[in-house]
A and B are shown apart, each in its own frame.
Chain A
Amino acid sequence: MEFTPPQTDFATIGPPLVLVVWATILLLVDLFIGNKRTTAILALVGLAAAAAAAVPFYGQTPRISFAGMAILDDTAIAIDWILVLVTAITILFSIDYLKRQAIEMGEFYPVLLFTTAAMMMMGHGRNLIALFISLEWLSIGLYVLAGFAYPRIRSQEAAMKYLLYGAFAAGFLIYGIALIYGVTGTADLATIADQLRADQALRSSPVLLIGLGLLLIGFGYKISMVPFHMWTPDVYEGSPTPVSGYMSAATKAAGFAALLRVVDIAFPVDVLPVWQIMLAVLAALTMLVGNIAAVAQSNIKRMLAYSSVAHAGFILCALVAINVPGAVQSYLYYILAYALTNLGAFAVVIALEQAGEERFDIADLAGLGWRQPLLGAAMAIFMLSLAGVPPLAGFFAKWLVFQVAYQGGFWWLALIGLLSSVISAFYYLRIIVNMYMREPTEPARSFTTTPLLAGVALAALLVIVQGFLTNPVLNLVGQTVAAGR
């Protein structure tokens, strides 16, 4: 029985590979490191290496390897870099937080790196199996991170809910993959598309469509698409705050990366437009439900959770019309803008969160803007950006995705998106109101440390700059999008 070694171009999975290797080493090295800050710094180094691993291939022809399982194109690299950025900032935020909350364990950073690698694989995957396993991989990592504050009850509850929900959703996802496989005989995204192109009957097969629906659901729950979002607020609230921030930024990026691959490569609009309207309705629901629910929140983490649901809806607007020129760029642009902004917002929460299990309410922000000018200003910038106020990144992002949606023929989606972003402005403004326009009831402590402030400042700066540099940022991801299909 002959054995043909597979064609393995490790460059195609360069960044995740580097991270996995580095994380494994770090896991071992950590045992001998007393100061966990060192571990954190080493993790940052690993991230830098991972980012660097993609540099030589940026702007090149896409490379496909591992029997078509993995791809390296600019989209993947962009996702990698976004993830590196997010993870790095998360690490900056975590260092002191973990210590203060007395949950400092060296394993945190390797698990974070492993999870990040898994997320990167979502961007590199070109096969439903690869995507499924990557998704499970990152899910397990996130379960661990969510429950990292063991034995805090909320942390445990978050992990538990996430895990049950995730496993439940995984069942649907794998069933969807099974059905797709059943009708097309393949799990390779590009081949699926070829089959669909070739076979008219296939395109109207209910089994295929049900499979597609299950795929959308299976990935959609990860990005908190309504009505598959209900885990989000509880998990975000209960998880250690840096993890919440990380989840809101990185998991979304990864989930959207996978959705992009699935929808864009396997079910292109020109072949199978039927999912568009479905996804558009879900996007509208996501925007509305997320924003409306956030209005009634008083706990800031829950509010940010619902806000992240809403933003998933905004990003979906671009996905709905992904066939439009510039859609992928806009999509990624939004993911970047959103990731930076949301992460920054969580960082401010981190800076203010006391040790223990107290709920952190919006009212606790009172007077922050004057007590901590930099922190307050940064938070204000994040909130305005999330609300979509120019000239911040969030505005440009919204403009791009709504323009894409409009161009794709979904003007009503853009309209709903715009109106729901007005609703969103209400609760974002409430944060600013509390920070600047109310006097504090009691002198609140804050825990601003250098790494945290650095992270916040970095995020804020990027949020401001991204808007003005919209063109370069768009070009960053725009080079080879078409070729990656």
Chain B
Amino acid sequence: MNFLLSVIVWLPLLGALILLFAPGISDHAAKRVALIWSLVVFAASLPLIPGFGFFDPSRAQLQLIERVPWIGAFGVDYHLAVDGISLWLVLLTTFLTPIVILSTFDSVNTRVRAFEAFMLALQTGMLGVLLAQDLFLFYIFWEFTLVPMYFLIGIWGGSRRIYATVKFFLYTFAASVLMLLAIIALYVLWGANSFSLPDMLNAMRTGQFTLDQNLARWLFLAFFAAFAVKVPLWPFHSWLPDAHTEAPTAGSVILAGVLLKLGGYGFIRFNLQLFPEASRFFAPAIGVLAVIGIIYGAWIAYAQTDIKKLVAYSSVSHLGFVMLGIFALNPIGLHGAILQMVNHGLSTGALFLVVGMIYERRHTRDINAFGGLWKVMPVYTFLSLLIVMSSIGLPALNGFVGEATIMFGAFSSPFLGWEFAAFGLLGVILAAVYLLWMFRRVMMGDVTEATAKLRDITRLELTMLVPLIALIILIGLYPAPFFRAMNESVTALANSIGPTLAAR
């Protein structure tokens, strides 16, 4: 028994409580405390990297299991564990949080303590979602993440923040309750007085727990609702542009960086594992939605004049790839999907940071208000270009690795096929269209009066971006270790679903 995962999960919340209740923490100090705290959490999560002896990449099963009975009457356990599917997302979360907190140094100046506390609390929620192996515990963390995010958008957001945050909350909440019903159904149907996911899967595998095919499909859809909204899968995306646009920079980053990933993670962890037959059954339909999302998000992004909204719609498009990868239902697609989740977290997170930086300078996000930044802010623009290119999916950067892998998966999937890959690739073209269009309008062109005196990137901002860009390049050139750590788990999962390669 070891407590590493518990430490990682609960440490941030402890920090949040300290920030809230410890007397005499000034705004200035609060930022520092939060930063150091999140760095400590990051440090605590580092041993998870394969090679430190904690996580064994050669095992497909859950690892570092912590399991204690909690609500005995209904078989709810406190049950944390990690495997190759969640490993990188966990690390992404702990990695992004310090950066996000760093980004608040300049941009958040009111009610700082509360802000940082919510941020840390959010981290606990997200990590909990990724590590919980008890359906009920998972649901608790899942819903809990809404609360800090709700406050972050609602208090520190833009002018339409209230509409955005309420929409965000209600939309996600509405979809999630369906999942709760499905969780209850699974519990009742199984009848083993347990919410344990691994045990349930075991029972399914050994035939002790069989679900009626129709019922399984309904339950699949209930889980689907929760995750599809979170991802968000077209046409359940309409909360996202509002939330992203109104959220403060840090909120957008964490929203795009991690929160959306929880949806994809949920699909992999729950839908695929619990309902293999239904997954196969629905894969083409979801694939179609994913492809529509890819193209639709990209297309609509092109018409935006608000940079953040553009990036938000780009998320819709990019997450479509993730969905396509997941429902390729084969190891390649899943590899790609998981890596692409990490990639999107890095790239889009960085993109939001970059947008936030000019917002701080100009207090507008209108694309038309900018121009010629390349001249006045060369370093900034260079880094932005890298990030944009990563988002476009330029080979040698991370985005390409993920997207290409997903495409290979989708193309060779027995459930999707070449059409899905082809239409998905259209999205890749469109990504170049809208992102370069944005880049052209904002970074290129002549310097206007308004942009002439903008300061180039500060050291603080550089500190935020450099780790992200380092990873963007690293994953672009050498993603193999990332794949290897998840390989066993993903392969085992894919094999449990069914045939992984189409007949040639």
Residues of B within 8 A of A421 (CB): 177
Given contacts A402-B181, A406-B185, A419-B174, contact A370 B111 (CB under 8 A): yes
Could you tell me if B187 and A403 are in contact, using CB atoms closer than 8 angstroms?
A: yes
Q: Which of B323-363 contact A (CB under 8 A)?
A: none
- Chain B residue nearest to A370 (CB atoms) is B111
Binds A, one of B33-41, B87-95, B139-147, B286-294: B139-147
28 A-B contacts, Cβ less than 8 Å apart? A387-B173, A389-B143, A389-B144, A389-B146, A390-B139, A395-B140, A399-B180, A402-B180, A402-B181, A402-B184, A406-B181, A406-B188, A411-B181, A414-B181, A418-B177, A419-B177, A422-B173, A429-B166, A429-B170, A430-B166, A432-B151, A433-B166, A436-B151, A436-B154, A436-B155, A438-B162, A475-B73, A478-B73
Could you tell me if A433 and B154 are in contact, using CB atoms closer than 8 angstroms?
A: yes
Could you tell me if B161 and A437 are in contact, using CB atoms closer than 8 angstroms?
A: yes
- Beyond A400-B74, A426-B170, 11 additional pairs, beta carbon < 8 A: A391-B140, A403-B184, A406-B184, A411-B181, A418-B178, A432-B151, A436-B154, A438-B162, A470-B70, A470-B71, A471-B72
Could you tell me if A326 and B73 are in contact, using CB atoms closer than 8 angstroms?
A: yes
Given contacts A429-B169, A436-B155, contact A422 B140 (CB under 8 A): no
Could you tell me if B180 and A391 are in contact, using CB atoms closer than 8 angstroms?
A: no
Q: Give the residue among A390, A399, A421 with the most B Cβ atoms within 10 A.
A: A390
Query: Least Cβ distance of A482 to chain B in Å?
Result: 14
Given contacts A418-B180, A421-B177, A422-B174, contact A390 B185 (CB under 8 A): no
Q: Which of A410-425 contact B (CB under 8 A)?
A: 411, 414-415, 418-419, 421-422, 425
Q: Does B150 contact A (CB under 8 A)?
A: yes
Given contacts A390-B144, A422-B174, contact A474 B73 (CB under 8 A): yes
Given contacts A389-B146, A390-B140, A471-B70, contact A425 B181 (CB under 8 A): no
Question: What secondary structure prevails in chain A residues at the interface with B?
Answer: helix
A176 CA / B139 CA spacing, docked (Å): 44
Given contacts A429-B166, A436-B155, A437-B155, contact A391 B144 (CB under 8 A): yes
List chain A positions with a Cβ less than 8 A from chain B. 326, 329, 370, 384, 387, 389-391, 395, 399-400, 402-403, 406-407, 411, 414-415, 418-419, 421-422, 425-426, 429-430, 432-433, 436-438, 470-471, 474-475, 478
Residues of B within 8 A of A432 (CB): 150-151, 154
A422 CA / B143 CA spacing, docked (Å): 12
Query: Least Cβ distance of A233 to chain B in Å?
Result: 23
Residues of A within 8 A of B174 (CB): 419, 422
Could you tell me if B147 and A389 are in contact, using CB atoms closer than 8 angstroms?
A: yes
A300 CA / B143 CA spacing, docked (Å): 26
Query: Least Cβ distance of A283 to chain B in Å?
Result: 16
Residues of A within 8 A of B162 (CB): 433, 437-438
Could you tell me if B169 and A403 are in contact, using CB atoms closer than 8 angstroms?
A: no
Residues of B within 8 A of A438 (CB): 162
> How many chain-B residues does the 8 Å CB contact rule pick out?
35
Residues of B within 8 A of A430 (CB): 166
Could you tell me if A407 and B188 are in contact, using CB atoms closer than 8 angstroms?
A: yes
A38 CA / B323 CA spacing, docked (Å): 66
> 1/0 per residue B157-183: CB within 8 Å of A?
000011001100110011001101100
Could you tell me if A429 and B150 are in contact, using CB atoms closer than 8 angstroms?
A: yes
- Chain A residue nearest to B191 (CB atoms) is A407
Query: Least Cβ distance of A395 to chain B in Å?
Result: 7
Query: Least Cβ distance of A331 to chain B in Å?
Result: 13
Residues of A within 8 A of B188 (CB): 403, 406-407
Residues of B within 8 A of A400 (CB): 74
Given contacts A395-B140, A395-B143, A399-B184, contact A422 B73 (CB under 8 A): no
List chain B positions with a Cβ less than 8 A from chain A. 70-74, 76, 111, 136, 139-141, 143-144, 146-147, 150-151, 154-155, 161-162, 165-166, 169-170, 173-174, 177-178, 180-181, 184-185, 187-188
Could you tell me if B184 and A384 are in contact, using CB atoms closer than 8 angstroms?
A: no
Count of CB-CB pairs between chains A and B under 8 Å: 91
Could you tell me if B154 and A403 are in contact, using CB atoms closer than 8 angstroms?
A: no
- Chain B residue nearest to A391 (CB atoms) is B140
Query: Least Cβ distance of B441 to chain A in Å?
Result: 32
Could you tell me if A403 and B74 are in contact, using CB atoms closer than 8 angstroms?
A: yes
Could you tell me if A425 and B173 are in contact, using CB atoms closer than 8 angstroms?
A: yes
Residues of B within 8 A of A470 (CB): 70-71, 73, 76
Residues of B within 8 A of A474 (CB): 71, 73
Query: Least Cβ distance of A411 to chain B in Å?
Result: 7
A384 CA / B154 CA spacing, docked (Å): 15
- Chain A residue nearest to B175 (CB atoms) is A422
A390 CA / B72 CA spacing, docked (Å): 18
A387 CA / B176 CA spacing, docked (Å): 13
Q: Top 10 A-B pairs ranked by shortest CB distance?
A: A418-B177, A390-B140, A422-B174, A437-B154, A470-B71, A471-B71, A403-B184, A474-B73, A390-B143, A406-B184
A433 CA / B173 CA spacing, docked (Å): 16
A471 CA / B70 CA spacing, docked (Å): 7
Query: Least Cβ distance of B188 to chain A in Å?
Result: 5
Query: Least Cβ distance of A224 to chain B in Å?
Result: 23
A330 CA / B166 CA spacing, docked (Å): 30
A402 CA / B74 CA spacing, docked (Å): 13
A29 CA / B84 CA spacing, docked (Å): 72
Residues of B within 8 A of A387 (CB): 173
Query: Least Cβ distance of A50 to chain B in Å?
Result: 28
Query: Least Cβ distance of B275 to chain A in Å?
Result: 17
Query: Least Cβ distance of A75 to chain B in Å?
Result: 16
Query: Least Cβ distance of B175 to chain A in Å?
Result: 9
Query: Least Cβ distance of B27 to chain A in Å?
Result: 14
A407 CA / B188 CA spacing, docked (Å): 6
Residues of A within 8 A of B170 (CB): 422, 425-426, 429
Residues of B within 8 A of A425 (CB): 169-170, 173
Residues of A within 8 A of B141 (CB): 390
A292 CA / B96 CA spacing, docked (Å): 40
A79 CA / B74 CA spacing, docked (Å): 22
- Chain A residue nearest to B139 (CB atoms) is A390
A406 CA / B185 CA spacing, docked (Å): 7
Query: Least Cβ distance of B247 to chain A in Å?
Result: 13
Residues of B within 8 A of A436 (CB): 151, 154-155
Residues of B within 8 A of A411 (CB): 181, 185
- Chain B residue nearest to A402 (CB atoms) is B184
A475 CA / B151 CA spacing, docked (Å): 35
A252 CA / B174 CA spacing, docked (Å): 27
Query: Least Cβ distance of B418 to chain A in Å?
Result: 39
A429 CA / B76 CA spacing, docked (Å): 28
A470 CA / B162 CA spacing, docked (Å): 33
Query: Least Cβ distance of A326 to chain B in Å?
Result: 6
A421 CA / B174 CA spacing, docked (Å): 8
A471 CA / B151 CA spacing, docked (Å): 30
Given contacts A436-B151, A436-B154, contact A414 B184 (CB under 8 A): yes
A430 CA / B188 CA spacing, docked (Å): 35
- Chain B residue nearest to A426 (CB atoms) is B170
Residues of A within 8 A of B111 (CB): 370
A403 CA / B75 CA spacing, docked (Å): 13
- Chain B residue nearest to A400 (CB atoms) is B74
A314 CA / B144 CA spacing, docked (Å): 21
Query: Least Cβ distance of A180 to chain B in Å?
Result: 33
Given contacts A370-B111, A436-B154, contact A326 B184 (CB under 8 A): no
A384 CA / B162 CA spacing, docked (Å): 16
A329 CA / B71 CA spacing, docked (Å): 13
Residues of A within 8 A of B177 (CB): 418-419, 421-422
A81 CA / B38 CA spacing, docked (Å): 43
A370 CA / B151 CA spacing, docked (Å): 13
A425 CA / B167 CA spacing, docked (Å): 11
A407 CA / B190 CA spacing, docked (Å): 11
Residues of A within 8 A of B146 (CB): 389
A384 CA / B258 CA spacing, docked (Å): 23
Residues of A within 8 A of B187 (CB): 403
Q: Give the residue among B73, B185, B188 with the most A Cβ atoms within 10 A.
A: B73
Residues of B within 8 A of A370 (CB): 111
A102 CA / B184 CA spacing, docked (Å): 50
